[in-house]
Amino acid sequence: MKDNYCVIMAGGVGSRFWPLSKTEKPKQFLDILGIGKTFLQLTFERLNKICPSENFYIVTNKAYKNIVLEQLPGIKEEQVLLEPKRRNTAPCIEFANYIISKINPNANIIVCPSDHLILNENEFIRVVSEGIDFIKDKSALLTLGIKPSRPDTGYGYIQIEKNSNGLNIEIDKVKTFTEKPNLDLAKFFFESGEFFWNSGIFIWSLASIEQAFKQHLPDVFNLFQNRDLYSSESEFIDKTYSECPNISIDYGIMEKSDNVFVFKADFGWSDLGTWGSLYENTPHDDNTNSIVGKNILSYDTQNCVINIPTEKLVVIQGLNGFIVVDSGESLLICKKDEEQRIRQFVNDIQIKKGDSFV
């Protein structure tokens, strides 16, 4: 395990989970599931079975340094890599590559978002372990593709080249990447059997991903080679990020490389991007409500997402298909099938009430 490294990307804002998720404490640092652990803690514990604690790097915004250290007491301050500004996933990953390259040029790296739900952890561990075995002796960039359970328009898709790799029947070469499709295209993808959801979880050797950066994102790669020009590490990172393009790893490297493979997996995955996706992936009561909270009485209420602080007593009557979320200082009551409007609500709050509520 000494060559296994894990990079957790934990810099997002998660505005679609307002009012619980706020700029000062986004969803990856919250116990939205009501189980006593945050998404970040669950991600760390899951991957800690494959990667030793000292080989973790958490890439996050400067504002979240103390939250990360508080929630992950098993890691050291130097393992929290602080981004001065958001520049999407490619600079985030190259930042971690730069740090890891100084420690272990033979590293095998797992890159994982901090806020995903994984229901079958044993299967996830098996898939990641076999993925590491696949990449460690070859020049390959591996992504985990999730077998779709429905024609979802909220995910990107990966098309496989069928039977393209004789080494492992669960792994195929990638043919195409497609961003979030419309419903008709999603239905075609789902029915074809050639398309998998793009999980945003990657496995590669340091050597392979660095070669890919040199070839496809040389501007980003070269920026991280200029450490000697600056008197301090923080000055170097600040300057580097100010010059980095805002670009995703998918667009910048994965879609352009010819050595990309996908592990066709099914371990109960969701990126939990919305309250609706939380509803779809959590247990329901007898009236098909997804409830977090200890003191909730509901009457004639079905198909709702209800998330209430433990100490608060709430009585709900006569709702069907609503999101009801109380953060303590803010209350959201919104139709579940119109939750895409939450971002607009947040924008309106900023304009009319200021930043303190978001």
Length reported for the chain: 358
> What's the average model confidence in pLDDT over 98-109?
97
pLDDT for position 228: 86
pLDDT for position 163: 67
The span from the CA of 154 to the CA of 340, in Å, is: 11
* pLDDT above 70 for 165: no
Alpha-carbon distances, residue 90 vs 120, 155, 201 (angstroms): 28, 19, 13
> What's the average model confidence in pLDDT over 170-193?
90
> What's the average model confidence in pLDDT over 127-148?
95
pLDDT for position 256: 95
> Strand 322-326's sheet: what is its strand order?
290-292, 305-307, 322-326, 331-335
pLDDT for position 164: 63
Element spanning 61, H or E: strand 56-61
pLDDT for position 307: 95
Band of the pLDDT at 167, cuts 50, 70, 90?
Answer: low
Phi-psi region of 311 (alpha: psi -120 to 50; beta: other; left: phi over 0): alpha
pLDDT for position 14: 74
Residues 320-354 have pLDDT tens digits of: 999 999 999 999 999 999 998 999 999 999 999 98
Residues 7-43 have pLDDT tens digits of: 999 988 878 899 999 888 999 999 988 899 999 999 9
Element spanning 212, H or E: helix 206-216
pLDDT for position 37: 95
Instruction: For 4-270, give the CATH class.
Output: alpha beta
The span from the CA of 209 to the CA of 203, in Å, is: 9
Whether the Cβ atoms of residue 207 and residue 101 lie closer than 8 Å to each other: no
Band of the pLDDT at 356, cuts 50, 70, 90?
Answer: confident
Average pLDDT, the chain: 93
The span from the CA of 288 to the CA of 320, in Å, is: 10
List the helix and strand counts (H, then E) for the chain.
Answer: 11, 17
pLDDT for position 12: 84
* pLDDT above 90 for 250: yes
pLDDT for position 85: 93
Show me where the domains of the chain are located.
4-270, 278-357
Relative to beta strand 108-113, strand 4-9 is parallel
* pLDDT above 90 for 245: yes
